[in-house]
Amino acid sequence: MDDEIILPGRLSEACGVCGGFADDQPLAFLTCFSLYALQHRGQESAGIVAGPGEGRKMWLKKGMGLVSDVFPDSADLKGIVCRLAVGHVRYSYGEGGRSPENSQPLKLRYRHGELAVAHNGHLLNSAELREELERQGAIFQTDTDSELLAHMVARQGSSNLEEALADVVPRLKGAFAFIVTDGHKVIGLRDGYGFRPLSLASIDGDGYFMASETCAFDTIGARFIRDLEPGEMVVLDEEGMHSRRVLDNSCPKLCVFEYIYFARPDSNLQGRNVHLVRRELGRQLAREHPVKADIVSGVPDSSIAAASGFAEEAGLPYEMGLVKNRYIGRTFIKPTQKMREEGVDIKLNPVRKIVEGKRVVLVDDSIVRGTTSVKLIKIMRRAGASEVHLRISSPPVKGSCFYGIDIPDARDLIAYNRPVEEIPSVTGADSVGYLSMERTVEAVGLPAVELCRACFTGDYPLIND
Ligand code: AMP
């Protein structure tokens, strides 16, 4: 029976995963450092599983909070004797996602031993698969897609994890980058579209490491080898590394939002450096939406690169018109609109001496609900800016994301069912310019058909196919 796909609910995960296999390496420690590098991908919980430990059981530590909260004495991790480790940072959103039991990696026991799973992404058919398993008597302790995969592997029956995974993953519909271990091997898996990134590196010539982003490799001195192909399963074990295709990958769709906002600027995705792509997005934006102004400022941190590209192309000075308080957490995911607005006030402050009396081009990477833009225009005017021109280095976000990026329901989006011409009056800006889809794709440098652009175009892979 084919699994029916229905539009998923809003419980999703936009996480970071990593893990590797190596002899003579402090792998739990290296995994912890990689998690630090991936912290921007999730701040709700962090965890590491390592093994095989005493009695061949895997060691696990995880908890709510930042990597530094969960592993305050990371140097102690050097003492953990292990040949493999898997790590996870979690960012959940949607209804009821935040709870300690959903923290990962998820470690379970099944008849062939132990199994640990770390997941980044979102399955579209998880409700159906879960219901099917529950009808067969499965008891779930978490809301995660990781637990779903673990149940499917356990039921598949094979003691060979690689075979079991290859057998069950074709039933998963959606976006996923999994790292799974049974204490003997570490297996990385990307869905056939490759929505979420996952890359491979070597460690000191005697081991391998995988991570959601290449910035994690730099942190631990691992050497980048390549990105996993969509639909590819990479197995790391005492034999080294081998790989096989387990899902059709004729239609790659890497998430364009990774380039625009989500990934770290020092990461490379598909060989393209995120910072350079963002700078090019800014340059294209300046060409498409030029404006007479005195200075260009970016909304820190994710828009600095685009703002510098804009300034360069426009021949205007780039100025630090806004300062970000780096000790404040995310305002984007606060539960109420009032809290989100207050959050912007605490997080971002204008430099009055810079913006006073100036015509300011304010560059941001995206407008989602509009909370940030509306607030920032007011803040800039209060600081004395004579004009504020908002420039956005991506197209209008018109739809939610079902593949693991936190974008609210379409109805909450400022550009949903609203012509672009109305955005200046809604935000209070003197003018607003969004980068066109065509120029966005050009700046990224990959063929348009190889990018998931669903939140901009409404053309959802797997749902509209
Ligand atoms: P909003 O205030 O809702 O319009 O959100 C837009 C702001 O949040 C921009 O400054 C973006 O850099 C940032 N942003 C965009 N997408 C996300 C996301 N998925 N998670 C967190 N922040 C985001």
Residue from 297, 347, 366, 402 whose mutation best tests the ligand 1 pocket (most atoms within 8 A of CB)? 366
CA of 34 to the centre of ligand 1 (A): 24
Ligand 1 atom closest to 303 (CA): 12
Q: Looking at the structure, tell me whether residues 185 and 307 fall in a common domain.
A: no
In the predicted model, is pLDDT for residue 55 greater than 80? Answer: no
DSSP 41-52: G--SEEEEEEES
DSSP 391-403: EESSPPP-S--SS
CA distance 64 to 47: 9
Domain count, the chain: 2
Residue type, 444: V
Report yes or no on 265 lying in a domain.
no
Mean pLDDT of 244-251: 94
Residue partners of 234: CB distance under 8 A and separation at least 6: 187, 188, 189, 200, 210, 228, 241, 242, 243
User: Residue 344 — very low, low, confident or very high, per pLDDT cuts 50/70/90?
Assistant: confident
Q: Looking at the structure, tell me whether residues 192 and 295 fall in a common domain.
A: no
370 Cβ below 6 A of ligand 1: yes
Cis peptide before 396 (omega within 30 of 0): no
348 Cβ below 6 A of ligand 1: no
202 Cβ below 6 A of ligand 1: no
SS3 per-residue string spanning the chain? CCCCCCCCCCCEECCEEEEEEECCCCHHHHHHHHHHHCHHHCCCEEEEEEECCHHHCCEEEEEECCHHHHCCCHHHHHHCCCCEEEEEEECEECCCCCCHHHCCCEEEEECCEEEEEEEEEEECCHHHHHHHHHHCCCCCCCCCHHHHHHHHHHHHCCCCHHHHHHHHHHHCCEEEEEEEECCCCEEEEECCCCCCCCEEEEECCCEEEEECCCHHHHHHCCEEEEECCCCEEEEEECCEEEEEECCCCCCCCEEHHHHHHHCCCCCEECCEEHHHHHHHHHHHHHHHCCCCCCEEEECCCCCHHHHHHHHHHHCCCECCCEEECCCCCCCCCCCCHHHHHHHHHHHEEECHHHHCCCEEEEEECCCCCCHHHHHHHHHHHHCCCCEEEEEECCCCCCCCCCCCCCCCCHHHCCCCCCCHHHHHHHHCCCEEEECCHHHHHHHHCCCHHHEECHHHHCCCCCCCC
State pLDDT tens for residues 249-262. 989 999 999 999 99
Q: Looking at the structure, tell me whether residues 196 and 324 fall in a common domain.
A: no
Residue partners of 304: CB distance under 8 A and separation at least 6: 298
In the predicted model, is pLDDT for residue 454 greater than 70? Answer: yes
Mean model confidence pLDDT for the chain: 93
Q: Looking at the structure, tell me whether residues 141 and 240 fall in a common domain.
A: yes
State pLDDT tens for residues 97-136. 678 899 999 999 999 999 999 999 999 999 999 999 999 9
Q: Looking at the structure, tell me whether residues 404 and 281 fall in a common domain.
A: yes
406 Cβ below 6 A of ligand 1: yes
Ligand 1 atom closest to 375 (CA): 2
Q: Looking at the structure, tell me whether residues 403 and 296 fall in a common domain.
A: yes
- Pick the residue whose CA is nearest to atom 15 on ligand 1: 366
Report yes or no on 366 lying in a domain.
yes
Q: Looking at the structure, tell me whether residues 209 and 330 fall in a common domain.
A: no
Q: Looking at the structure, tell me whether residues 293 and 366 fall in a common domain.
A: yes
pLDDT at 4: 36
Exposure letters 126-136 (e unless 16+ CB within 10 A, then b): bebbbebbeee
DSSP 8-class letter at 281: H
CA of 333 to the centre of ligand 1 (A): 9
Query: Of 235, 250, 265, which residue sits at a domain end?
Result: 250
Ligand 1 atom closest to 257 (CA): 16
State pLDDT tens for residues 381-406. 999 999 999 999 999 999 999 998 88
Mean pLDDT of 398-421: 91
In the predicted model, is pLDDT for residue 95 greater than 80? Answer: no
CA distance 311 to 355: 15
Report yes or no on 403 lying in a domain.
yes
In the predicted model, is pLDDT for residue 7 greater than 50? Answer: no
- Pick the residue whose CA is nearest to atom 3 on ligand 1: 369
User: The domain containing residue 144 runs over which residues?
Assistant: 16-250
User: Residue 160 — very low, low, confident or very high, per pLDDT cuts 50/70/90?
Assistant: very high
CA of 74 to the centre of ligand 1 (A): 31
362 Cβ below 6 A of ligand 1: no
In the predicted model, is pLDDT for residue 54 greater than 90? Answer: no
More confident residue, 172 or 334: 172
- Pick the residue whose CA is nearest to atom 11 on ligand 1: 366
User: Residue 2 — very low, low, confident or very high, per pLDDT cuts 50/70/90?
Assistant: very low
In the predicted model, is pLDDT for residue 152 greater than 60? Answer: yes
In the predicted model, is pLDDT for residue 407 greater than 90? Answer: no
Q: Is the dihedral of CA 76, 77, 78, 82 positive or negative?
A: positive
Distance of CA 282 to the CA centre of its chain: 21
pLDDT at 3: 35
The catalytic residues are 15
Report yes or no on 174 lying in a domain.
yes
State pLDDT tens for residues 190-229. 999 999 999 999 998 789 999 999 999 999 999 999 999 9
In the predicted model, is pLDDT for residue 151 greater than 70? Answer: yes
400 Cβ below 6 A of ligand 1: no
258 Cβ below 6 A of ligand 1: no
Residue from 93, 345, 372 whose mutation best tests the ligand 1 pocket (most atoms within 8 A of CB)? 372
365 Cβ below 6 A of ligand 1: yes
pTM here is 0.94
In the predicted model, is pLDDT for residue 295 greater than 70? Answer: yes
Q: What's 347's domain CATH number?
A: 3.40.50.2020
Report yes or no on 185 lying in a domain.
yes
Cis peptide before 52 (omega within 30 of 0): yes
Report yes or no on 262 lying in a domain.
no
Report yes or no on 246 lying in a domain.
yes
Ligand 1 atom closest to 406 (CA): 19
Q: What's 65's domain CATH number?
A: 3.60.20.10
Residue that is written with structure tokens 């790292």 in the block? 179
71: helix, strand or coil: coil
Q: Looking at the structure, tell me whether residues 208 and 334 fall in a common domain.
A: no
Q: Looking at the structure, tell me whether residues 344 and 237 fall in a common domain.
A: no
pLDDT at 6: 38
433: helix, strand or coil: strand
Q: Looking at the structure, tell me whether residues 127 and 194 fall in a common domain.
A: yes
User: Residue 8 — very low, low, confident or very high, per pLDDT cuts 50/70/90?
Assistant: very low
pLDDT at 12: 58
Q: Looking at the structure, tell me whether residues 219 and 315 fall in a common domain.
A: no
CA of 88 to the centre of ligand 1 (A): 22
Q: Are 394 and 187 in contact, with CB atoms under 8 Å apart?
A: no
Residue from 301, 368, 426 whose mutation best tests the ligand 1 pocket (most atoms within 8 A of CB)? 368
CA of 302 to the centre of ligand 1 (A): 9
Report yes or no on 463 lying in a domain.
no
